[in-house]
Structure 1
Amino acid sequence: MVSKTRKQWSKRKRIVIGSLGVLSLIYIAVILWHTFKPLPQGVSYDGELHKTDAVDFITDLTYAQDQKGKDMVHENHIFDAVNTMIKEADDFVVVDFFSFDGYYDEKVDFPKIADTLSTTLANKKRENPNMPVVFITDPLNRGYGSYENEWFKKMRDAGVEIVYTDLDQLRDSIPIYSGIHRTFFQWFDIGGKGWIANATASEAPKMTIASYMTLLNIKANHRKVVVTDKEAMVTSSNPHDASGFHGNIALKVTGPIINDILEAEEAVSLFSGGPELPRAKVEESDGEYEVQYVTEKKILDALLADLAITEKGDKIWLGMFFIAKRDIVNALIDAANRGVEVNMILDPNENSFGQQKSGLPNRPVVQEMVEDTKGKINVRWYNTVIGQYHAKAIWIQTDDQTVISSGSGNYTDRTLDNYNLESNMRVVAPNDSEFVGEMEDYFERIWNNEDAMYTVDKEEFQDDFTWWQRWIYTLQKSIKVTTY
């Protein structure tokens, strides 16, 4: 009898171990496939270089007259330009924005960006019912399936075509969690009305458990693009009210690059079940600037090539929200060590929408860069009394030319290793051109605090740097569990 019982237990044990082994193999296979699977056609795009006569440099700046936030000033121009572009379009409007809503808890009178832009787009469609007006966006803006926010409803009711990006088609940037989600959690979406408080704001619609499970994959269509038949804009700014006082940069151009951007946006629309997109009637022309549209890892490839040719005496300005991508960090360290002047204006990663942050990733990365260059890299922190320094721009000047890359792409693995969808404009310009001068004036103004307290010394935030910040940063990078 005892022998029979032991045999039964042994059999059950083998079944349990075998089942766990099969599940483990499935889990590992899911991780490997969704980390390295082929990208959807048209993702990671690099367009041709096109000549144009003008590149418009547009900024949003919020700053204080002193470090404590006295006499706040808001210079917001980007969404004024966006709304004007839409109103002046004759044939079509295509926009792609990551975060788009008016929910927030902070007791601040933020600009009504979402309401203004949604009204502009809705009115454009009502006035021109046969005109294609397409809004491509991230499912964040519907709570990953929990609701439709009021701004998208307004546009949809007017006939604007809303395309929510199918993030499942993209690779997974947090494989440890996403493997579990794809293997188990995704099959238990039972629908129903949301009942869990929204993480973005207490007044935002509630979410379901399934939506939260999807959110934890931390993947996104992070692009920020506006295209009409006349011109195109690539920006670092979101039409999100609570982001209304962030520091941001936008580049606006005309010419055949419009159709390159439409081609790349059409790829996202099609793999997400959306429509084919129109094209602009534009021809190649002459001009002093060369412009190129690059997305995802092509942003990184172009940037590393541009950094590699810098020599002693050249100059780099960097304005960045997150910097952590190892290839770029090493390239900037190498440039500084061979005599390139490298000036970085960074967000201190001190707060996010009123919530205290740990300083990751920028502070441990800055500590490393300063150490590895023996202080040759110059760093100032943006004085984020309110909002964030949300720009993602680099300015690289050699004897021959200046190259600028600006848009939605932070310098992180998630951004530049073909996980998120990202969009940048790359511009090759003469050193003595107006655009190059305008952009350097912008950086000089902020660096030198010419008319306000824009930036503070590196030591202002770096003096309280601790070993645990570098340890946590290293751990997060090694296991790929980060929010940046």
Structure 2
Amino acid sequence: MYITRSKWKWAVAILLFITLAATIYGLFKPVPAGTSYKGEVHYTDDLRFLLNRSSEQDGDRVFNEEIYSAVLEAVEEAESFVAVEMFLLNDKTDGDFPPLSLTLTEALIDASKRGVNVYVLTDPINTSYFSHESTMINMLDDAGVQTIMTDITRLQDSNPLYSGIWRAYLQWFGQGGNGWIENVFEPEAPQMTVRSFLKLMNGRANHRKVVITEETGFVMSANFHDESYFYTNTAFQTSGPVLYDLLETVQAVSDFSDGPDLEAEPSVDQTDGEYAVQVLTEGENFNRVQEMLDDAAPEDTVYAALYFLADTEIVDSIEAAAERGTDIRLILDPNESAFGMDVFGMPNRPVAEDLMNLGMSNLQVRWYNTGDEQFHPKMMAVFNDSGLSVIAGSANFTSRNMRDNNLDTNLYAEMDEGSDTFDEIETFFNEMWTNEESDYTLPYEHYLNPHSSWREWIYRFQKISGLSTY
């Protein structure tokens, strides 16, 4: 049958309208209930700063860890419940790394056998977006542990050039089947289907790293992922009423992912203390970072230890604080690689170049002296004349992680000078900045932007299009 040019125009117009409508809906639809969460301010005497750190000492890489041991000890001591919300929980690697994901999985199975209620929420990335099964999830399922795969389709989209096409036409075909594309996360992992790769391009994730028991809770930048074992990461461990808020954020994800109600009752025997703590997720992390920077006084010092720094408004607030006279000290990952892929300095090196070109002596950048691993914290602290305020957790300082596209949990805390945790955080930043104990960091000049002639357009294109991890 002959189709007239007029009918073709109408068909194209309808498709464009559907695509535009799907794009607008995906970018601006309401976030799921219980996300972008701002908890109450609670007080506790129990706030530990935990650190995994890889460093160079006398020409050798040295790794010291506190986070994994503390989490595994808490799981082993749990008597009532364990709730885990973890972005990466897999052993997909082509290197020789400790079996971190298996160790946690086995600890969770042992807890379940003791009669502990165990819940594990994770992200489809561990199945390469349903291209293959997850070894760890299968082990947990076989042991009767309740596992929940986050329904990331419920999250807002981040890619205006692609998300409408995905929502309108591609998502309906599913992702399962026999793949034939090399796995983009790990060449030795099972191959991906084309449909899984197309889902990956839409770029949303449950990026949280939280573990809760009846006695304690952890908010971390660390994944229990074999290939991430030697990354530098930070975490807070705490207890008290704030555990109820952490559980509320986990329950919200279980609810919109068709998961169970968590049978979990924290043991709370303290409602005051020297540390003020607050749970923040998604967009509330952005709001708090902005507040901290906007409130920073000329006599204050802002330290940030970051894997990614890319959000334009946060960068503008850093610049504004420096213009007011605040001492800004940024310690950044050089962004040599991500998920085993060369990322040629994006986004930190072009952002650092823009900031350093301002020529302000009180705005300084140092690079963490990485080997094959990543400098993976997402942490900022404002030191004032009486103490500090600090935010840390899983949220990179990027639009994707702080604007409701990904799920991320951070802990905000305030404390007085002289407290144990104040001293630990102050030591952490001072050691890296001064290199007194080791060659932790390198001067800004060590990693100059390797592509200044063309980096501007590709960086801006990635930011506008959403075709990046930031």
TM-score higher than 0.5: yes
> What is the alpha-carbon distance in structure 1 between the residues aligned to residue 90 and residue 393 of structure 2?
20
Seen in structure 2, the aligned counterparts of structure 1 residues 390 and 191 have a Cα distance that, compared at 3 Å, is closer
TM-score, normalised to structure 1's length? 0.94
Aligned pairs for 1:205-220 (under 5 A) are 205-220=190-205
Change (3 A) 1:373 1:229: farther
Shift of 1:96: 0.3
Residue 430 (structure 1) shift: 0.8
Rounded Cα–Cα distance in structure 1 between residues aligned with 2:351 and 2:212: 35
Matched, 1:115 2:88: no
**TM-score with structure 2 length normalisation?**
0.96
Q: Does 1:46 align with 2:38?
A: yes
Q: Which 5+ residue runs of structure 1 have no aligned equivalent?
A: 1-7
Give the AA of the match of 1:105: D
2 CA distance for matches of 1:374 and 1:305?
22
CA deviations on 1:19-70 (whole Å, 9 max, x unpaired) are 000010000000001110111110100000000002111111111225xxx3
What is the identity, as a one-letter code, of the residue corresponding to 2:106?
A: T
Kindly indicate whether the alpha-carbon contact (under 8 Å) linking 1:317 and 1:344 is maintained by their aligned counterparts in 2.
yes
- The one-letter amino acid paired with 2:98 is P
Is 2:82 the counterpart of 1:89?
A: no
Cα deviation per residue 1:295-330 (whole Å; 9 max; x = unaligned)? 001011112112212111111110000001112111
List per-residue Cα deviations over 1:364-396 (Å, max 9, x = no partner). Answer: 111111223534311110111120100000111
- C-alpha RMSD over aligned residues: 1.6
| 1:55 and 2:44 correspond | no
Which of 405, 424, 443 matches 1:457? 443
Contact 2:50–2:234 (8 Å) recurs in 1: yes
Question: 1:201 Cα shift?
Answer: 2.0
Q: 1: CA distance between counterparts of 2:456 and 2:165? A: 28
Give the corresponding residue for 1:4: none
Which segment is superposed worse, 370-379 or 233-242?
Answer: 370-379
CA contact (8 A) 1:59 1:248 kept: yes
Counterpart residue identity of residue 408, structure 2? E
| 1:65 lines up with 2:57 in the alignment | yes
CA contact (8 A) 1:336 1:373 kept: no
Contact 2:176 2:196 (8 Å CA) reproduced: no
Partner of 1:309: 295
Query: Of 166, 173, 186, which residue of structure 1 is paired with 2:151?
Result: 166
The offset of 1:465, in angstroms, is: 5.2
Instruction: Give, as a single letter, the amino acid of the residue that structure 2 aligns with 1:172.
Output: D
Judge conservation of contact 1:358–1:469 (CA < 8 Å) in 2: no
Query: Does the Cα contact within 8 Å between 1:234 and 1:251 map onto a contact in 2?
Result: yes
CA distance in 1, matches of 2:54, 2:106: 25
Note closer, same or farther for the CA distance 1:39–1:75 as it changes in structure 2 (3 Å cut): same
Structure 2 match to 1:5 = none
Distance, in Å, in 2 between the alignment partners of 1:238 and 1:431 is 30
The equivalent of 2:412 in structure 1 is: 426
Residue 230 of structure 1 is matched in structure 2 by 215
Distance 1:354 1:147, change over 3 A: closer
CA distance in 1, matches of 2:417, 2:148: 40
2:4 maps to which residue? 12
Name structure 2 gaps, 5 residues minimum.
none
Alignment length (residue pairs) = 469
For 1:304, the aligned partner's letter is Q
Give the 3-state SS of the residue equivalent to 2:162 in structure 1.
helix
What's the counterpart of residue 268 of structure 2?
282
Provide Cα deviations, 1:237-259, integer angstroms capped at 9, x if missing partner: 11111111111001000100000
- Separation (CA, whole Å) in 1 of partners of 2:19 and 2:341: 35
Aligned partner of 2:186 in structure 1 is 201
Deviation string for 1:424-445 (max 9, x for gaps)? 0000111222211111101111
Match of 2:250 among 265, 269, 281: 265
Aligned 1:408-423 pairs, distance under 5 A: 408-423=394-409
Q: What corresponds to 1:3 in structure 2?
A: none
- Does the C-alpha gap of structure 1 residues 180 and 473 become closer, same or farther in structure 2, counting only changes over 3 Å? same
Runs ≥4 in structure 1, deviation > 4 angstroms?
A: none
Q: State the alpha-carbon separation in 2 of the partners of residues 175 and 126 from structure 1.
A: 46
Preserved contact between residue 185 and residue 339 of structure 2 (Cα < 8 Å): no
**Residues 200 and 475 (structure 1), Cα distance of their counterparts in 2 relative to 1, 3 Å cut:** closer
CA distance in 2: counterparts of 1:414 and 1:265, whole angstroms:
20
Q: Do structure 1's residue 102 and structure 2's residue 91 form an aligned pair? A: yes
What secondary structure does 1:64 align onto?
strand
Are positions 1:132 and 2:117 aligned together? yes
Amino acid at match of 2:84: V
Residues 175 and 460 from structure 1, CA distance in 2 versus in 1: closer, same or farther, beyond 3 angstroms? Answer: same
Higher-Rg structure is 1
What is the CA distance between 1:213 and its match in structure 2?
Answer: 1.5
The C-alpha deviation readout for 1:61-93, integer Å capped at 9, x for no partner, is 111225xxx322111221111111111111100
Distance 1:429 1:57 in 2: 12
Q: Once the 2 structures are TM-superposed, how far is the Cα of residue 190 of structure 1 from its aligned partner?
A: 7.3
